[in-house]
Amino acid sequence: MSLPVDVNEEALPVPAGYRILIAIPPRDDKIGSIYLPDSLKDKEQTASIVGCVMRLGPDAYLDQDKYPSGPWCTVGDWVVFRAYSGTRIKIDGQEFRLINDDTVEGVVDDPRKIVRA
């Protein structure tokens, strides 16, 4: 799956320390045959649990004691994380999150199959 970003790469912030910059895919306008009002679509996007790793901070996954097997994810991976985690920002209408490296809970092949329960 391609990256969900339609912004200038230079406009993206560089995560500090052990933070990770995640791009949040835009929410569909409907679920099944039901169209979502913008207010509900925004709430669903705020509670999103999947995103694409855009950048890693310089200290992400460097702690050998905490990450003996190495990094949990790399740039370009689609990851699952807890709803409402991280710092939310928007750049040119695209939502991003800055999350801690240990917030990643899994890597997925196809984020379209992941739905918050």
> Does 26 reside within a domain?
yes
| Tens digit of pLDDT at every position of the chain (117 positions) | 455 566 778 889 999 999 999 998 876 555 555 555 555 445 555 568 899 999 999 999 999 999 999 999 999 999 999 988 899 999 988 889 999 999 999 999 988 777 777
> Does 115 reside within a domain?
no
Q: What is the pTM of this model?
A: 0.81
> Does 76 reside within a domain?
yes
> Does 1 reside within a domain?
no
Closest CA to 94 of 27, 36, 47: 27
> Does 113 reside within a domain?
no
In the sheet that 94-100 helps form, which strands lie side by side, from edge to edge? 87-91, 94-100, 19-23, 50-56, 78-80, 106-108
Domain that holds residue 84: 9-108
Domain count, the chain: 1
User: Which residue reads 């910059």 in tokens?
Assistant: 21
* 91 vs 43: CA distance, rounded Å: 18
Contact criterion met (CB below 8 Å) for 90 and 9: no
